[in-house]
Structure 1
Amino acid sequence: MDITVPQIIELPKVEDNRGNLTFIENSRHIPFDIKRVYYLYDVPGGESRGGHAHKQLMQLLIAASGSFDVILDDGGTRRKYSLNRSYYGLFVPTMTWRELENFSSGSVCLVLASEYYDPMDYYYTYEEFMEAVRKK
């Protein structure tokens, strides 16, 4: 797997009449070990989340419930991904600006992260992010 490119990862799905199950294993289904898990929920209609990039952190975003859109920007290309299946994850590499929007009612965005929380790992403004991209 090319860890420099955003991509949809199809996760294992165990189908059962009683309900389906999906699992994720470190460095097997995703290209990193999970150091942090968090989730976004109760996002009011019309609101957006994200609006930042990470210097070192990689993530996998999953629509655990409902749906939402993710806009990813590497400084040259901007692309929208619609997440609405709990067995698909969107891999977000380092140095990728991300915005989350268009949350359906009751949606839950599950995030698996490659690093512990570190406020120094963030680009908080798009201008700061683009300046760093231009320097590379």
Structure 2
Amino acid sequence: MSITEHRIRGDHRGQLVAIEGLQDIPFEVKRVFYIYGTQPDVPRGQHSHHQTRQYLIAVNGSCKVTLDDGKQKVTYDLNKPNIGLLQDALIWGAMHDFTVDCVLLVMASEHYDEADYIRDYDDFLKVVGA
């Protein structure tokens, strides 16, 4: 669980943030998706992965992300398009408090595999030995 501030490159034409797999984030990106149009009072995520690592960036608007290793919960505020949050495997994640304009970009280390998901919190606690 770590947050990174990426360098903003830009000039009079606009801003640019470049993120490269295995350089700016610690894995090769195999899947990209984004979440938008969420309601401020409706959480997303609320699961963990056995293998998949994710890197989250609110490229527009903001949201909060609570990461939980089974012993400690930490909430991060993603509110700048150059701030990224690493969610490792076997970390429970919940995204919440979305602004109406939030676009949350997620880069994942693995292709989608339903068997990789842990969707029940009690099962998650058993897996991590908490």
TM-score normalized by the length of structure 1:
0.93
CA shift for structure 1 position 26: 1.4
User: For 1:89, which of 74, 84, 101 is the aligned residue?
Assistant: 84
Superposition pairs for residues 1-136 of structure 1, below 5 Å?
Answer: 6-134=1-129
- The percent identity for this pair of structures is 40
In 2, Cα distance between the equivalents of 1:10 and 1:54? 24
Q: Unpaired runs of 5+ in structure 1? A: 1-5
In 2, Cα distance between the equivalents of 1:8 and 1:15? 22
CA shift for structure 1 position 105: 1.3
In 2, Cα distance between the equivalents of 1:67 and 1:45? 10
Amino acid at match of 2:30: K
Q: Unpaired runs of 5+ in structure 2? A: none
Q: Say which SS state the counterpart of residue 126 (structure 2) adopts.
A: helix
Misfit runs of 4+, over 4 Å: none
Amino acid at match of 1:121: D
In 2, Cα distance between the equivalents of 1:10 and 1:20? 15
TM-score normalized by the length of structure 2:
0.97
